């Protein structure tokens, strides 16, 4: 039975928070090309809607995402003799790279609420979000080496930055499963919470971020990622340039005025 594209990603909104739910639970929310396209569309809609000030991404059922759907004809090798091997790089060029770049360029913070196993590209899609909060039964697996591939969807870039070279090598080479609590202790993710509290904790964090100055948060996210490849002085100069720009914006005046007035600020820039 073919799946309806709009149903493989469920989209809902609570206040200023857009919630995207990966929704192919019988295949552990593995990504097909249609689902990757729907995810991109849902992120683009969230980015274009100025009432959205934070995005939460989670999975339906017992998994966050098992990564690429290995049964998808686009990637499944044809075992018949003489069949031409498939160029799976096309799927990265056409879907995963644009998705990873889009996630990073979102004008508002993204939170992965990891409700279960996150494997392969599913793990790295979660790790590409700005904050990762996992339920205690969730786990992360760099499944790639088990099928003769390298970590994609940003994995080779993200892993050493998150956990350092030694752990990155362990996770990527051995494909070891890391449970949520260990993922916090090695710095792979930000928080682990009881399963029952996952969505309420993710939503509370999203709502907190939604009330903050989105543009300053967007520049903070960008500068932190960029700083990994800069020397100290370059980072200082880029900070100064960005601070100068933000100083002209509404949210800075509002933040300072609210502090002086001893009231809550009403941020609106994006």
Of 195, 59, 197, the C-alpha closest to 129 is 59
Ordered DSSP codes for 39-62: HHHHHHHHHH-TT--EEEEEESTT
Instruction: Give start and end residues of each alpha helix (H) in 53-139.
Output: 89-91, 97-104, 121-127
Which is nearer to ligand LHQ, 119 or 131 (by Cβ)?
119
SS3 3: coil
Residue 153, Cβ neighbours under 10 Å: how many? 27
Which is nearer to ligand LHQ, 30 or 132 (by Cβ)?
30
Which is nearer to ligand LHQ, 109 or 116 (by Cβ)?
116
Structure tokens at 17: 């928070």
Instruction: Supply the minimum distance, in Å, between the C-beta of residue 72 and ligand LHQ.
Output: 8
Which is nearer to ligand LHQ, 64 or 252 (by Cβ)?
64
Instruction: Supply the minimum distance, in Å, between the C-beta of residue 152 and ligand LHQ.
Output: 5
Instruction: Supply the minimum distance, in Å, between the C-beta of residue 125 and ligand LHQ.
Output: 9
Is residue 91 within 8 A of residue 247, CB to CB? The reply is: no
Instruction: Supply the minimum distance, in Å, between the C-beta of residue 233 and ligand LHQ.
Output: 38
C-alpha gyration radius of the chain: 20
Which is nearer to ligand LHQ, 144 or 267 (by Cβ)?
144
Which is nearer to ligand LHQ, 75 or 133 (by Cβ)?
75
Instruction: Supply the minimum distance, in Å, between the C-beta of residue 88 and ligand LHQ.
Output: 4
CA distance linking residue 119 with residue 58, whole number of Å = 14
SS3 28: coil
Instruction: Supply the minimum distance, in Å, between the C-beta of residue 167 and ligand LHQ.
Output: 19
Binding stretches for ligand LHQ (CB under 6 A)? 27-28, 30, 66-71, 75, 88, 91-92, 96, 117, 119-121, 141, 143-144, 147, 149, 152
Of 66, 53, 52, 54, the C-alpha closest to 22 is 66
């Amino acid at each position: 039975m073919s799946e309806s594209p709009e149903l493989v990603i469920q989209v809902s909104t609570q206040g200023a928070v857009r919630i995207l739910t990966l929704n192919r639970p019988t295949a552990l929310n593995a990504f097909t090309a249609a689902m990757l396209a729907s995810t991109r569309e849902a992120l683009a809609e969230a980015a274009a809607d100025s009432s959205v000030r934070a995005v939460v991404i989670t999975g339906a059922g017992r998994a966050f995402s098992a990564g690429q759907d290995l049964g998808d004809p686009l990637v499944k090798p044809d075992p018949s003799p003489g069949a031409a091997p498939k160029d799976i790089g096309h799927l990265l060029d056409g879907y995963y790279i644009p998705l990873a770049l889009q996630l990073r360029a979102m004008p508002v913070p993204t939170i992965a609420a990891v409700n279960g196993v996150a494997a392969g590209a599913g793990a790295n899609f979660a790790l590409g979000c700005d904050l990762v909060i996992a339920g205690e039964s969730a786990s992360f697996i760099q499944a790639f080496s088990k099928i003769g591939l390298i970590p994609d969807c940003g994995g080779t870039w993200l892993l050493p930055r998150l956990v350092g070279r030694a752990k990155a090598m362990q996770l990527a080479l051995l494909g070891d499963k890391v449970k949520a609590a260990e993922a916090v202790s090695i710095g792979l993710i930000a928080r682990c919470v009881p399963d029952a509290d996952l969505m309420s904790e993710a939503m509370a964090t999203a709502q907190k971020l939604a009330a903050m100055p989105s543009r300053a948060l967007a520049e903070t996210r960008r500068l932190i990622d960029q700083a990994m490849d800069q020397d100290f002085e370059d980072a200082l100069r880029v900070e100064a340039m960005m601070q100068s720009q933000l100083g002209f914006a509404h949210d800075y005046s509002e933040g300072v005025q609210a502090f002086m007035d001893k009231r809550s600020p009403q941020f609106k820039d994006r």
